[in-house]
Chain A
Amino acid sequence: MQTIAIIDYGMGNLASIANMIKKTGGKCNIVNNAGLLPMYDKVILPGVGAFDTAINNIKINGLWDALNKFALEDKKPVLGICLGMQLLCNQSEEGVEKGFGWIDADVRKLQLNNSSLRTPHMGWNTLHVQNKAFPLFKNTEAEQRFYFVHSYAVACNKQENIAATTNYGGHFHSVIWNHNIMGFQCHPEKSHKFGMQIFKNFIEL
């Protein structure tokens, strides 16, 4: 069976993701050693916290080059979750560091057109699927509900990278995609049956 590396750069909900992969029948290890990365078939990039801290931690741990090789040269599947998704983009208004830039998108502070809403966007919300061909949407339910916690959101520069949008005081791009690179703003590892299907699909890629 293929093995998934959950990248440990000191930030993120690693155990939840590992629990979910085990629950859905996959195999994974938590990896913080860049040298071991080539032995893995897929990567999950988790993340909770601030953009610049994350990028700096990745660099300090020597993971920056290894991840670039994994994603761009080896073209193996990479799934970014929450902040991990934002790291796939060019840059973020939250910081000054550059992101991986694997997906042509920028991260902006959530702009709410409804004064009764507050940030962070915290709670359950639905995905509006923009591209049914996205491989992780296989066998998913008509209404997909996911748990969100974030104050910044992704805006893709190219329509083709948008797999789903979500409405919270305006639409943002909640699921993004560029070939082997995939990102979820929400937390599939915390979204019971809806999330389980996403992980199942990722495991079966």
Chain B
Amino acid sequence: MLKQRLIPVLLLQDEGLYKTIKFKDAKYLGDPINAVKLFNDKEVDEIIILDINATAGNHPLNIEYIERLTSEAFMPLAYGGGVKTVEQAKKLLRLGVEKIIVNSAIFTHTDNVREMVKVLGASTIVASIDVKKSFLGKYEVFYKNGTLKYKGTLKEALELVNDIGVGEVMVNAIDKDGTMNGYDLGLVKIIEPLINAPIIICGGLGQLEHLKQVTNSAISGFAGGSFFVYHGPLKAVLITYPAYNTLHEILK
């Protein structure tokens, strides 16, 4: 058994597949449905799809498009982006979404997220916390695609998600997004004792060696973006995922 999952994160914007650097400079890569099909053939552990424009652009969920994506996914698929209500979450689950990722709603619609956990089960709801280092080197929490700063501390944000009782917490290091130079190990160390649920870390994955650098036991998932869609120093777009035996060697 592999204790940890390796998870490609696909960023969706207006039905296109994009990749960002530090949550900015979204670059168009191709067709998300094709990407899901390719990841499916590669037997990925899980896939995360984030609509990076949903909350910021304030547009309704593109249910029809999400349905087309899920119909190609024969592995667990988590969706995030613009989900604020139990009704929306229910609709997504019916389409074949396995888990709902909430980010802005944790802070703007806290009671709704509590309701989602209660009605849909904790293991269905993943809290995504976006973290950025301030000029003074302090970790701060952002939401709405990194555009708004949460008033409290990182610890307070994590206490809130513990209290809501989500099934999993994904922590994104905004400064590491798209850099491919390794996870933020300092951040991982800080968050591990502060989170009750299993943890997914995201931001910085550039090579499989980076997984070995994280020795914390509470990390249940390694997520990444560029690592799975870029190849070589020139960053040619190529959907990649390591073979099971390779992963087995690294994560055993």
Interface residues of A (CB under 8 A from B): 12-16, 19-20, 23, 48-50, 53, 116, 118, 120, 122-126, 145, 147, 149-151, 167, 187, 189-193, 195-196
Which of B45, B46, B96, B197 is within 8 Å of A13, CB to CB? B96
Which DSSP category, helix, strand, loop or mixed, fits chain B's interface? loop
CA distance A116 to B219 in the complex (A): 10
Q: Are A15 and B119 in contact (CB under 8 A)?
A: no
Residues of B within 8 A of A (CB): 1-5, 40, 43, 45-46, 67, 70-71, 73-76, 93-96, 98-99, 119-124, 167-168, 196-198, 217-218, 220-221
Chain B residue, CB-CB nearest to A47: B121
Identify whether the interface residues of A are mostly helix, strand, loop, or mixed.
mixed
Q: Closest CB of chain B to A6's CB: distance in Å?
A: 11
With A147-B75, A147-B76 already in contact, the answer to whether A19 and B96 are too (CB < 8 A) is yes
A49-B120, A190-B98 known; A122 vs B198 contact (CB < 8 Å): yes
- Residue of A14, A23, A167, A191 near B75 (CB, 8 A) is A191
Given A122-B168, A123-B221: A192 and B74 interface contact (C-beta under 8 Å): yes
The CA of A24 and the CA of B94, in the complex, are separated in Å by: 20
Q: Give every chain B residue within 8 A of A116 (Cβ-Cβ).
A: 217-218
Chain B contacts for A53, CB-based, 8 A? 119
Question: Which residues on A sit within 8 Å (CB–CB) of B1?
Answer: 124-126, 145, 167
Chain B residues with CB below 8 A from A189, complex form: 74
**B-side contacts of A151, CB under 8 Å:** 122-123
- A122 and B71 alpha carbons, distance in the complex (Å): 22
Contact of B198 among A49, A118, A193 (CB under 8 A): A118
* Known A-B contacts A118-B198, A123-B221, A192-B43; A150 and B75 likewise in contact (beta carbons under 8 Å): no
Q: Is the CB of A20 within 8 A of B74?
A: yes
How many angstroms from the CA of A115 to the CA of B124 in the assembled complex? 23
Q: Provide 27 A-B residue pairs closer than 8 Å at the C-beta atoms, listed in order of the A residue.
A: A13-B94, A15-B67, A15-B96, A19-B70, A19-B74, A23-B74, A48-B121, A49-B119, A49-B121, A53-B119, A116-B218, A120-B123, A120-B168, A122-B123, A122-B168, A122-B198, A122-B220, A123-B221, A124-B2, A124-B45, A126-B1, A145-B1, A189-B74, A191-B75, A192-B40, A192-B75, A195-B74
- A147 proximity list for chain B (CB < 8 A): 45-46, 75-76
Q: Are A190 and B220 in contact (CB under 8 A)?
A: no
Which residue of B45, B75, B120, B168 contacts A48 across the interface (Cβ within 8 Å)? B120
Q: Report B-chain residues with C-beta under 8 Å of the C-beta of A150.
A: 123
Taking a contact as CB atoms under 8 Å apart, the answer to whether A123 and B3 are in contact is yes
